[in-house]
Amino acid sequence: MTGQPQSMKTRLIQDVAEVKADQLRLLLITDLKDVPRDRHLDTVEAALKGGVRDLQLREKDLPLRDLFSLAVALRQLTSHYGARLYINDRVDVALMVQADGVHLPEAGLPAGEVKARYPQLLVGVSTHSLESAVQAQEDGADYITFSPIYDTPSKRQYGAPQGVDALKEVAGRVNLPVLALGGINLERIPEVMRAGAHGAALIRGIWNSTHIENASSKYIQAIKGES
């Protein structure tokens, strides 16, 4: 790529980002607050062994130094398994650990601003309405999560469940991968996929399992329609 105009280099990077985002089917979001610290990596590795290839580090209660240390360790672990690592909200941490992407809150930094400065990053955005989903697309997001689809404790601050009809409307209006989030269990995967979701973002469905590796494999199979 030496000697190519900068605009062409940027376009090629964006093309690669779009391909990577299109491959995103299951995004596993960390929730390790109830896991002993010396078990964090073993817990995540179980999911990676089960086939998870997109992991978002989202530990809002961790002090920044601890978050950074965990991000460094997860970068090494995900790289070993050929998985992508996304950092929730903290663009600085994502850049420092050479993560694959960053996931922005709905009211966070504009996706377009992040993409313009760091086109190598995949940029996801949390959305909770049709309007915010459309705005995320206009801002240049590579993918979005849409939530909550069903009732779930972690998303009650965003109001009543959206339901699959709202998911279907969003999936029909935006031209980027939409990941259903919120109260997704194994039995609900076929419903959200029929509604047009590209995949699912999960927290408790996997972390609360008594066998994380097996649960990860089952969710991936269900999303791909193989179960």
Give the integer Cα–Cα distance in Å for 203 and 207.
Answer: 6
Q: Is the pLDDT of residue 6 over 50?
A: no
Would you state the pLDDT for residue 127?
Answer: 97
Would you state the pLDDT for residue 2?
Answer: 41
Would you state the pLDDT for residue 227?
Answer: 63
Summarised one tens digit per residue, pLDDT across range 167-192 is 999 999 999 999 999 999 999 999 99
Torsions phi, psi for 28 (to 5 deg): -95, 125
Q: Identify the residue whose tokens are 């705005």.
A: 135
* DSSP H/E element including 146: strand 143-146
Across 95-122, average pLDDT = 96
Residue predicted with more confidence, 145 or 8:
145
Across 119-135, average pLDDT = 97
Question: What mean pLDDT is reported for the chain?
Answer: 91
Would you state the pLDDT for residue 152?
Answer: 75
* Lowest-confidence region among 4-18, 94-108, 175-189, 210-224: 4-18
Summarised one tens digit per residue, pLDDT across range 147-165 is 999 987 665 666 689 999 9
Q: Is the pLDDT of residue 46 over 60?
A: yes
* DSSP H/E element including 88: strand 84-88
Would you state the pLDDT for residue 12?
Answer: 43
Category of 126 on φ-ψ map: left (φ > 0), alpha (ψ -120 to 50) or beta: beta
Category of 89 on φ-ψ map: left (φ > 0), alpha (ψ -120 to 50) or beta: left
Name all domains of the chain by residue range, CATH numbers in brackets. Answer: 6-223 (3.20.20.70)
Decide if 47 contacts 206 (C-beta within 8 A).
Answer: yes
Q: Is the pLDDT of residue 7 over 60?
A: no
